[in-house]
Amino acid sequence: MVRLSLNGFLAYKNAEVCIDTEDKPRLLIKVYEELLKKLDIAAKAAEEKDFKKKVEELSKAISVLEILDSSLDMSYGEIPRNLSILYTYILKNLRFAQRSPKKDKIEECKGLLSSILEGFRKAYEGKKEGENRAPDHVEYRIVK
């Protein structure tokens, strides 16, 4: 019995190490992918009139978005502020979707989150590419 507990502890400890050593941008991408899966399940549940399942999946998605929103570092300026505004809008729509038999708000939120995910993916790939080579040149532009 003690051995089982020790194995469980070691498995938990190893899982924690795996998460800690993974790069944060890739982890964020995985969170978004899972979030979109939850919304897919919720939309399908709405189609099938399985409202209990829809509410469960939307509740999970709402929890994840609340965590993402609360973890934004506003000291980085406009981008986190804009993300927070977008998260607030999405949260409002998902809470509305919990009470609505339709899936249109879920689909709208999926579209918004997919756009954010695509932006994160492009930034992540650009970061990985940039780590492997030196920039050819630097270009500065004045924006009015």
Q: Please report the pLDDT score of residue 126 as a whole number.
A: 86
Which residues have a Cβ under 8 Å from the Cβ of 45 and sit 6 or more positions away? 51, 53, 54, 57
Percentage of residues of the chain with pLDDT beyond 90: 68
Q: Please report the pLDDT score of residue 127 as a whole number.
A: 76
Burial class (CB in 10 A: 0-12, 13-18, 19+), 54: buried
Q: CB count, 10 Å around CB of 12?
A: 10
pTM (2 decimals)? 0.74
Distance CA 86, CA 106 (A): 14
CATH superfamily of the domain spanning 24-120: Flagellar protein FliS (1.20.120.340)
pLDDT of 79 over the 70 cut: yes
Domain ranges of the chain: 24-120
Average pLDDT for residues 17-31, to the nearest whole number? 76
Average pLDDT for residues 32-56, to the nearest whole number? 97
* Lowest model confidence (mean pLDDT) among 12-16, 104-108, 113-117, 128-132: 12-16
Distance CA 114, CA 26 (A): 15
